[in-house]
Amino acid sequence: MSFFKKIILFIGAIVVMILGMWFAIVWHRFIHTPLQSDKAIQQVSTIKVPPGTGIHYLAKSLHEQGLLQNPQFFIWLARLKGDAPLLKAGEYEITPTMTPLELLRNVVAGKVKQRSITFIEGWTFREMKQTLEENPYIHHTIDRLSDQKILAKLGCTNLRPEGLFFPDTYSFTWGDNDIKILRQAYQRMQTILNEAWQQRADNLPYKNPYQALILASLVEKETALPKERPKIAGVILRRLKKGMPLQVDPTVLYGLGRPYGSPITKEDLVSNSPYNTYQHYGLPPTPIDMPSRASILAALKPESGDALYYVARGDGSHIFSATYKEHKEAIKKVFRRWRKTWELNAAVSFLLKELKEWGRQPHLIGCGSN
């Protein structure tokens, strides 16, 4: 081998070594540099990996979002690790410090972002369903289904869905369908109701847990104070045992399809709705909302006593009475209090209005004659 050839081989080896070192540095930097390092504002972002997504599509999506400068390096990384065919569908969170290697590990392991949806105590099924429909991360399948078909998908034989779902916060991942979330809430209500039923007090008039659920839904709407729930449940149950009409206002509104808290007229109280507990004796045909655990426990462990009536004070609490005479006195007491409050508010409003008008008028100070 001539000297000239040796020089060429030596230079070539040096070039290859330099290129190898350069590639190793670039490769190491690519793997371990955070995806958002070049962004002026670093924040948590997400990327969606649809079912059947390949490594080329994922690399392209990251590049289009400005998270990956060199998508080909990401493809090589996945192929070198043997992860290219192992990607899991879902929504993934990208933190400001996450590197391409960490993201790839998450997508292969299926460490998807957990989202949540909350159903509030006392909501109706209509409100619950609307919340599901408005969530953009849920796959919607029940939009055009009747209530009966929705229940059938859950394996439930009830005719009405009201009250069958437990109000709570439920976790889900992008792409989960609404039936999956409803099933969680339905099964949780069944578990809580059955556990409470096993620990119920003696001599309750319920024929089955569903009747206890109905009464719990009335308690839920009648008071927001935890300490009053067993008292309210006790009053309703005593009226039920004595064959008295329950006269629970929220049942009237529910039967008329009006929102809770709407004003009730005399005509409403004589409506022929099966939910009108002024006209129809006994429990309404179904629950009127999703009761909380506290209301369920109150319905199954009511407070003993002799009260048959209660009236709202206006501050969230109630006055309880054993006789109708006492009840009328309690109503008068509450009315006097409301009247005083109304008169005080009216007086304050009048004075504020007068002061406002007075401030708009020109006033002469010391305008007597010399």
Question: pLDDT tens digits for 250-262?
Answer: 999 999 999 988 8
Helix, strand or coil for residue 75? helix
Residue of 240, 238, 273 lying closest to 256 (CA atoms) = 273
| Alpha carbon distance, N-terminus to C-terminus of the chain | 130
pLDDT digits (tens, 9 = 90+) for 288-319: 999 999 999 999 999 999 999 998 887 889 99
Classify domain 29-109 at the CATH topology level.
Dna Ligase; domain 1 (3.30.1490)
Say if CB 319 and CB 334 are below 8 A apart: yes
Distance CA(108)–CA(81), nearest Å, equals 11
Segments making up each domain of the chain, as ranges: 29-109, 115-196, 203-329
Residue 171 has pLDDT above 60, yes or no: yes
Is pTM, for the whole model, over 0.75?
Answer: yes
Question: Average model confidence (pLDDT) for the chain?
Answer: 85
pLDDT digits (tens, 9 = 90+) for 99-121: 888 888 899 999 999 999 999 99
Q: Going by C-beta distance under 8 Å and a sequence separation of 6 or more, which residues neighbour residue 367?
A: none
Distance CA(115)–CA(127), nearest Å, equals 20
Strand partners, 177: 139
